Structure 1
Amino acid sequence: MSIDRAVQQRYSAASEVAEPGLCCPVDYDPQYLKVIPADVLEKDYGCGDPVSYLQPGERALDLGSGAGKVCFIAAQIVGPSGTVIGVDLNDDMLAVARRAQPEVTRRLGYGNVSFAKARIEDLALDLEFLDRHLDRHPVRCHDDLVRLDELADRLRRDSPLIPDGSVDVVISNCVLNLVAPQRKQDMFAEIARVLRPGGRAVISDIVSDIDVPTAMQADPHLWSGCYSGALQEERFLDGFTRAGLTGLTILKREARPWETVGDVEFRSVTVAAYKPPTREDTPTRHAVVYRGPFAAVTIDTGLQMIRGRVVPISPDDLRAILAGPYVEHTYILEAELADPEPQQPSSTLPFGLSALSVRASTPGRIRYRPSTESAACVQPSGTCGC
């Protein structure tokens, strides 16, 4: 049996009868559970709590939404001004979530959740649209298959299910490990694609302390149980950085393994990773002062910041700092340009940064002054959280 088929069959069965062995139990804030039907609560399969890191008003995307529990919790956190999209591949799990949706909407007094069918490594392709097409135009020969592939490519290009840069935050709970090895980097790339510049991913998943042995990877039952597809912990973290995300932060790491199979320890981790602003939105001629507590740190771009030292930074460095949690530990300074003729600010810069000041300085020396807004006040969502 293939990995995909094993996962589909096991989770279809778990949509009918709860299976406690799928991933590990998670305790959520009970205030958010009151509006969720019991049928959904008992069919929750996760390993962490990424949803508690959401903020009001955000547009959130839940990868592998299953029966919808995390989406319905997220709906309450982002509130009526926010939206939540749940994506899953399993028709039976989607059916459970959609049956519960009207009741949750009635109890909340607003509806801000929708569910869609897609692979999390191919979020542009609407599989329900494709299913309806196949009902009318089944594949009977090679030419039919070619036409189907062409249709799928057009849908991804012209009508993507989740467009580029369209969500503030991507969350997922114990699902990335279910994706086949050859498609895992596509999955990380899709997370980066759908995030808006300045957005973030908050992911809970199962990782292993060593590479999962080949024999275990070939076992479909272990795959569907969240074991065999787990990435070794460093490889898991590297997947985000290879996709262009920055400021990777381990929010929670279980000290005790969830399970130990043979010599392999499996544990739950929750991480955050940030998508930098676009180059066009990044002002130039800045410096940074690292506040501590460490003597020196190196960020993902390779920039080394030494505590208390003014370090000139490139636009790429600034993008990385503004997108991630580095802002909480730095002061961002703006260059004072040598120009005897005062100039008017050309525009308002992103993240609350003021336009560069204009004041003559000593030849050959660049002077810096603090930006108008404290760097510590800049949040990943682009709003001040002070």
Structure 2
Amino acid sequence: MEPSKMYNLVQSRYSELASRSFTEHTAVAENVAKAFGYRPSELRSIPPNANMGLSCGNPVAVANLQAGEVVIDLGSGGGMDVLLAAQKVGPTGKAIGVDMTRNMIELARENAKKANAYNAVFLESAITSIPLPDATADCVISNCVVNLVPTAEKPRAFREMFRLLKPGGRLAMTDILVWKPLPDGMAMDLSLYVGCIAGASRVQEYEEYLRNAGFEQVMIVDCQKDLNIYKEVFVDQDEASCGCCQSGAGGSLKSGQSIAERAEVNLNEWAGSFEIYALKS
């Protein structure tokens, strides 16, 4: 599928997520967040619908953010990590969220107001071309987003991270990576794509992207989390009649239950949740 079509698919899915009611989705989202390292106290400190159940880790917890720093979150969604980062960098710092989906940006801005996070700002932009000056940030974070970037565009995303960091700046991300090439049935499963697995890179590829962009001291760590927690999300999405995950969306899914929902499919066999660290010298 062409990159433009993949971007449209992702935007459609995440726009729908941003617009829906979170009354019933909150419990699922909380389960996912806790499974990937968020503390209950962190979740209580932000508006409930800032957590959308889309995480594969907790980058703020490992980014070692300091008061006064500028941090950029790539693919900021409902604003969860930006709001948590804003708490860390304090009033003399700034937390900047970047997301290409307008409904997500609007939701995140509403959540920032509710949280009185005046040092949090949100930009509507693709993460491959961000309207910010070179050397803006001390730290770049991202949470399960780069896997949504089409393969042909992934190098651009990493070059943009490098450009935005100050000399001596650091990258602290969480993402889904695959152990081995996915079979065609899984690779073409749209619910697995918007669920951050079908578009994931292999570990070696990810390291090459980082080094080719100019990063040094690259470290990629398997967090050994259970990805099958995502099956709760897939089922919850279908109950909400997610249009992009149904038959006919892009022509890649057959009617009926998606691969992602089948009990016999062990997602951990194919993919894992990783923490990614790197430095710009």
Q: Is the 8 A contact 1:201 1:274 kept in 2?
A: yes
Distance 1:9 1:216 in 2: 20
Q: CA deviation at 1:220?
A: 3.0
The gaps in structure 1 that reach 5 residues or longer are 124-160, 277-386
Match of 2:273 in 1: 268
Is 1:99 matched with 2:104? no
User: 1:58 — aligned with what?
Assistant: 69
Q: 2:144 matched to which residue of 1?
A: 174
**Higher share in helix:** 2
Distance 1:256 1:173, change over 3 A: closer
Q: Which amino acid aligns with 1:47?
A: C
- The alignment partner of 1:231 has SS state of coil
Other-structure match for 2:48: 38
Out of 54, 57, 62, which is 1:48 matched to?
Answer: 57
CA contact (8 A) 1:66 1:94 kept: yes
1:122 equivalent in structure 2: 129
| Cα gap change, 1:261 to 1:28, in 2 (>3 Å) | closer
Distance 1:258 1:9 in 2: 23
2:253 corresponds to 1:253: no
Q: CA deviation at 1:3?
A: 1.8
Q: CA deviation at 1:4?
A: 1.8
Matched position secondary structure for 1:97: helix
Question: Conserved in 2, the CA contact under 8 Å of 1:44 and 1:66?
Answer: no
Letter aligned with residue 208 of structure 1: V
2 CA distance for matches of 1:213 and 1:56?
A: 46
Write the letter of the residue equivalent to 2:39.
D
**CA distance in 2: counterparts of 1:256 and 1:99, whole angstroms:** 31
Deviation at 1:30, TM superposition (A): 3.7
Question: Are positions 1:14 and 2:21 aligned together?
Answer: no
Output the CA distance in 1 between the equivalents of 2:183 and 2:126. Answer: 25
Q: Which amino acid aligns with 2:74?
A: L
Deviation at 1:199, TM superposition (A): 0.3
Partner of residue 223, structure 1: 193
Residue type of the alignment partner of 1:255: Q
Residue 193 of structure 1 aligns with which residue?
163
- Matches for 1:1-386 after TM superposition, within 5 Å: 2-15=5-18, 16-18=20-22, 20=28, 24-25=32-33, 26-41=36-51, 43-52=52-61, 53=63, 54-105=65-116, 111-123=118-130, 161-250=131-220, 252-255=221-224, 257-259=226-228, 265-276=270-281
Counterpart CA distance in 2 for 1:191 and 1:207 is: 18
Contact 2:54 2:144 in 1 (8 A): yes
Bigger CA radius of gyration? 1
User: Are the aligned partners of 1:212 and 1:231 in contact in 2 as well (CA < 8 Å)?
Assistant: no
Q: Structure 1 93/188 Cα, relative in aligned 2: closer, same or farther at 3 Å?
A: same
Q: 1:273 to 1:5 in 2, by over 3 A?
A: same
Query: Partner of 1:27: helix, strand, or coil?
Result: coil
The normalised TM-score by structure 1 is: 0.56
Distance 1:210 1:112, change over 3 A: same
CA contact (8 A) 1:44 1:67 kept: no
Q: Which amino acid aligns with 2:111?
A: A
Q: CA deviation at 1:37?
A: 1.6
Tell me how far 1:256 sits from its aligned partner. Answer: 5.1
Identity of aligned residues (%): 34
CA contact (8 A) 1:32 1:76 kept: no
Which structure is higher in strand share? 1
**Two-structure CA RMSD over aligned residues (Å):** 2.4
- Asked if the contact 2:216–2:280 (Cα under 8 Å) also holds between the matched residues in 1, the reply is yes
Mapped partners of 1:60, 1:194: distance in 2: 10
Q: How far apart, in 1, do the equivalents of 2:32 and 2:174 lie?
A: 11
Higher relative contact order (CA 8 A, sep 6+): 2
Q: Deviations over 1:8-46 (max 9, x none)?
A: 12212222145648x9533323444344222323x2411
Secondary structure, in 3 states, of the residue corresponding to 1:72?
helix
Q: In the comparison of the two structures, how many residue pairs are matched?
A: 233
Q: Give TM-score scaled by structure 2 length.
A: 0.75
SS of equivalent to 2:113: helix
Distance, in Å, in 1 between the alignment partners of 2:115 and 2:224 is 35
Deviations 1:302-350, CA, capped at 9 Å, x for gaps: xxxxxxxxxxxxxxxxxxxxxxxxxxxxxxxxxxxxxxxxxxxxxxxxx
Structure 2: which 5+ residue stretches go unaligned?
229-264
| Letter aligned with residue 93 of structure 1 | M
- Give the letter aligned to residue 68 of structure 1: G
